[in-house]
A and B are shown apart, each in its own frame.
Chain A
Amino acid sequence: MNSIGQGFWEAWRLIITFDPDLYEIIFLSLQVTVAAVIIASVIGLPFGAWLAVNRFRFRRYTIAVLNALMGLPPVVVGLFVYMTLSRAGPLGGFGLLFSPSAMIIAQVIIITPLIASISHQTIRDLWAEYHDLLISMHATRAQRIMALLWDGKRALLTATLAGFGRAIGEVGAIMIVGGNIEHATRVLTTAITLETSKGNFAFAMGLGLVLIMMAVLVNLLIHTVGKTERTGTW
């Protein structure tokens, strides 16, 4: 079994020959995941901060549920979105099933709890530090949340990247709602599943390595742009 070694060669061959199909599925993978991460961050980051600064009756339970939802099984989310978007389902009229939009919806559901939960933990610690200051300044609740999100932005990047990591490597849900249609909804993870099922292990492995390299590149890029993890920038 030298498929692993072959996989490395296959990965390089795919990248340096500019295989158009490969670039198409890489692009779609990024498009779907980045869209999902942006939407989930817009919902999840403020929600996590809001949970950290507010005291209300079911707060403890809300946090417990949120933390539990981090482990939401993607295949169940996929099935739920599938049944909702199917022509026979409640939102069938939009005809979204088997489209990239459906894949984005599924990923948003999967990663929002993760982003919100990490955001909550980060902001909670920061809030303990800023509490007296912000209260003495008579900051409104919205101002407090804004200030905490802004000052915690570096740490919140981790939340966003965790969401990206979970979404880019996800296959169970997007296979169900996207259908793995060539030139329409095929992304790296579903292509890997498909090639594995055909017994083309080297090719599947090559795609897998491309996926990993892409995840590393995106993370590096974000750290570079955000100027994090460098001496003197904290």
Chain B
Amino acid sequence: MKLNWKALVAASLLATASSAETLRMAVTTSFYNSGLSEILLPAIKADTGLDVELIVVGTGQALRLGEAGDVDAILVHARAAEESFLAQGFGSHRREIMYNDFVFIGPADDPANVTAAKSAVEALQSIAAIQALFVSRGDDSGTNKKELKLWAEAEIAPVGRWYRAVGSGMGATLNVASGMNAYTFSDRASWLNFGNKGDLALLYAGDPALFNQYAYIPVNPDRWPHVRYDLAMQLESWLTGEKAAELINGYTINGEHLFIFNAVP
């Protein structure tokens, strides 16, 4: 953490680009907690001169910030919500940038035997079967939406004392799960970068249903003339370019890759 801050400062001091223009972007907590932004922002500054200010919120709130014109662009991961955002004319267009996957986290001794599950739905069913403590984001974020979709597919209504919706970001949710030694649903990057794992372990991953696509959407300048659409486009071309691909694919924690670049040029 500490080193990254320093690197960021050093990079911004060394940046050769003269005029610093500021772009405001709402990003999801899972993206921010992964630590990738600390790699990307200095590189963006160095290559384009753009100061990207991040507002870190859940996908639900990020979309609201875009609707209200309080940010210039958003980077989120909830396909259905993104499409409705575009359909209502709040965003100019949607560009896929990268993906990772969602994972099931839980107590290392795994009382619900999630490790043996053959699908994401089965993992949830085995947790619900013994009513093991499960901590949910409960904040209308992309991760939360995905989790609720999986519960629906598992035909389980997650209610009861074992289901704890904390209404917080990814990191705070992992903290609660760690404190209660409970199961939870996280994106892989946040989990790998999390500093308070306690007795928790990654128990299940790999179902194609757990695919997690991140997309970039500039706020529609026709709706909000004050947004910096020019800067948003500049950032988009960087995010979909070679340098971004290299940095995103090269970002690892303990040898594990966190994101895979999949922007189509």
Contacts and interface: CB of A to CB of B under 8 A. Distances in A.
Interface string B1-32: 11001101100100000000000100001000
B84 to A, nearest CB: 18
Contacts, number: 78
A194 B5 CA distance: 14
Nearest to B56: A180
Contacts of B172: 196-197
Interface residues of B, number: 34
Interface stretch (B92-100, B132-140, B193-201): B193-201
Interface stretch (A30-38, A112-120, A158-166, A198-206): A198-206
A21 interface: yes
Given A98-B70, A198-B194, A87 B224 contact: yes
Interface residues of A, number: 26
B178 A199 contact: yes
Contacts of B6: 19-21
A196 B172 CA distance: 7
Interface string B47-86: 0000101111000000000011110000000000000000
A39 B150 CA distance: 51
Contacts of B168: 197
A111 interface: no
Q: Which of A183, A198, A199, A200 has the most CB of B within 10 A?
A: A198
A27 B8 CA distance: 18
Given A87-B68, A98-B24, A199-B196, A21 B55 contact: no
Interface in B190-226: 193-197, 224, 226
Interface string A75-106: 00000000000111100100101100000000
B175 interface: yes
Given A198-B33, A203-B2, A88 B195 contact: no
A97 B29 CA distance: 20
Given A197-B33, A198-B33, A199-B171, A181 B1 contact: no
Interface string A172-201: 000000011111100000000011111111
B174 interface: yes
B91 interface: no
B174 A199 contact: yes
Contacts of A20: 6, 9
B172 to A, nearest CB: 5
A198 B69 contact: no
- Of A19, A20, A87, A184, most buried by chain B (CB within 10 Å of CB) is A87
25 contacts: A19-B2, A19-B5, A21-B5, A21-B9, A87-B68, A87-B70, A87-B224, A88-B67, A88-B68, A88-B70, A89-B68, A92-B68, A97-B70, A179-B56, A181-B24, A181-B55, A182-B54, A183-B12, A196-B175, A197-B29, A197-B170, A199-B196, A199-B197, A201-B195, A203-B2
Which 6 A-B pairs rank lowest in CB-CB distance, beginning with the nearest? Answer: A199-B196, A197-B171, A199-B195, A87-B69, A88-B68, A179-B55
